[in-house]
Structure 1
Amino acid sequence: MSKRIAIYGKGGIGKSTIVSNIAAAYSEDHNVLVIGCDPKADTTRTLVGKRIPTILDIIKEKKDASYEDIIYQGFGDVLCVESGGPEPGVGCAGRGVIVAMKLLGKLGTFSDDLDIIIYDVLGDVVCGGFAVPLREDFADEVYIVTSGEYMALYAANNICKGIKKLKGNLGGIICNCRGIENEINIVSDFADRVGSKVIGVIPRSEMVQKSEIDAKTVIEKFGETEQAQLYKKLAKSIYSNEDFVIPNPLGIDEFDEFFRKFQ
């Protein structure tokens, strides 16, 4: 059975960078499928080398879309698909996730040949569709990407509320650093407060932007660097992790009090 991982976090926090790089790391030894569940549909760009059509876009043009129509092969032979979403201000963004999961299941995408499935899920939109990977039992474990910034942690805390409601398995917090003061301490303390742990720390690096400009992962473009090795280390930590919890999120006032002590 595949290891099924969902990566959640605030929009713009670096989920897609984390997902694409750990997928590239896993591809050295495993068959990997990445499913982008973010309406921006940019999860797989650095794996494939370009933006790929979303499932919603494809089925608008071809009602009987096949496996070959929706699946693209990326770096390291990682299989990639984007669920897609509506135009801004029109419709429910979660619809793309629901439609994508149904079609992928119908086409037999979730086969025994896959070792690892990774979902990139936007976590700061209040929409039931974003609960699909957990609610419909497509993902077994969740990791939250955050920085030490107030709004990123606020979103992380809200995601914990959703995980708790769905009785999901939180495997840890990934600190994707923005370079603020006491950042690792802030994120570590937050992880401890919700009953979890920091499973990986990724420092801020210009290599991320340089690789993404070329539509590549850091592992592909700067494979021998320490930054690439940190993504590989994170991938290993997630793969071997057996420590899961149902989180205990902070109340609103409790969260503000927690954050003020670092100011």
Structure 2
Amino acid sequence: MAKKIKQIAIYGKGGIGKSTTTSNISAALSAAGYKVMQFGCDPKSDSTNTLRGGNYIPTVLDTLREKNSVKAHEVIFEGFNGIYCVEAGGPAPGVGCAGRGIITAVQLFKQQNIFEELDLDYVIYDVLGDVVCGGFAVPIREGIAEHVFTVSSADFMAVYAANNLFKGIHKYSNSGGALLGGVIANSINAPYAKDIIDDFVKQTNTQVVEYVPRSVTVTQSELQGKTTIEAAPESKQAKVYKALAAKIAGHEESKVPAPLEVSELRAWAAKWGDYLLALETGEVRTEAVGNL
């Protein structure tokens, strides 16, 4: 009997640190002895470059544009500690749907039974979360990914993107779509940032999987073209990523989130905005956060 491959999708708005987080999770799982594939689903095609010394790889769509038929092995490249790296790619600038690369790449790999052939333990999809359109929704809509996690900071636009993702998961949950594992809270240094994320997950009936602080170690590592796990394996930041990877490895039960309507989200954000302004001017104590 073939082993069950755990397929995970990690979403987040552009610039939130989604690919950094995903690559460090992949690296940590690989270092723990698992066979991992990272599947970049962003048209920028930069998901896997820190797993490959800063080098970019040919994408599935680029390769298909050059030839009519492609074998999956032609678009799989080995990265740090044997991680299999794939970039779905995007259309030519100004033409077509940005999500088409995901649809095409997933179909190609399913037809050729690549995941089973490589005897993978994990396939991790790194997906742009600004818009959950047809292509970007594929890992959710078709139940390809078993669990979905979203990377979010305490900034409103990151929370807004996460809430939109929750709406997509909610929409497809009755037709076999993937469910939500939780929120990976990124760039959490100030106490109020943790409080905002904690309140958001409470309002939307989900959970925080891990708090990831902003760290210069990440910047130093990426300037070398490496993940923190590779460049600074004994650092405090690496320990955070290893703990996150262990939680994802042990995660079994995902659920349907309860997204907020836009008016509810705006009202919620306005209350936090008023609180932070009062906090900045010294009109409230930090302990007062519980009254929000």
**What is the aligned counterpart of 2:251 among 241, 245, 253?**
241
- Structure 2: segments with no counterpart, 5+ residues: 274-292
1:155 matched to which residue of 2?
161
- Cα distance 1:60–1:89, how it changes in 2: closer, same or farther (>3 A)? closer
Aligned length: 263
Asked if residue 48 in structure 1 is aligned to residue 52 in structure 2, the reply is: yes
Paired with 2:29 and 2:77, the residues of 1 have a C-alpha distance of: 17
Question: 1:37-116 to 2 correspondence within 5 Å?
Answer: 37-49=41-53, 50-111=55-116, 113-116=119-122
When the two chains are superposed, the root-mean-square deviation of aligned CA atoms in Å is 1.3
Q: Secondary structure in 2 aligned to 1:170?
A: strand
Alpha carbons 2:40, 2:87 under 8 Å: kept:
yes
Deviates more, 1:252-261 or 1:26-35: 252-261
Distance 1:170 1:68 in 2: 31
1:3 aligned onto 2:27: no
Q: Among the aligned pairs, what percent are the same residue?
A: 49
Consecutive unaligned residues in structure 1, runs of 5 or more:
none
Q: Distance in 2 between matches of 1:69 and 1:62?
A: 11
Does residue 187 of the first structure (1) align with residue 193 of the second (2)? no
- Is the CA contact 1:93–1:127 (under 8 Å) kept in the aligned structure 2? no
Q: CA deviation at 1:22?
A: 0.5
Q: By how many angstroms is 1:162 displaced?
A: 0.4
SS at match of 1:117: strand
Worse overlay, 103-112 or 182-191: 103-112
Q: Determine if contact 1:158/1:249 at 8 Å carries over to the other structure.
A: yes
Q: 2:132–2:164: 8 Å Cα contact kept in structure 1?
A: no
Instruction: Please give the secondary structure, in 2, of the residue aligned with 1:134.
Output: helix
Larger Rg: 2
Deviating beyond 3 angstroms after TM superposition, the runs of 4 or more aligned structure 1 residues are: 178-181
For residues 109-188 of structure 1, the aligned pairs below 5 Å read: 109-111=114-116, 113-167=119-173, 168-177=178-187, 179=189, 182-188=192-198
Give the residue type in structure 2 aligned to 1:27: S
Partner-residue secondary structure (3-state), 2:85: strand
CA contact (8 A) 2:132 2:168 kept: no
CA distance in 1, matches of 2:252, 2:5: 15
CA contact (8 A) 2:72 2:108 kept: no
Q: Give the C-alpha shift of residue 173 in structure 1.
A: 0.4
2:222 aligns with 212
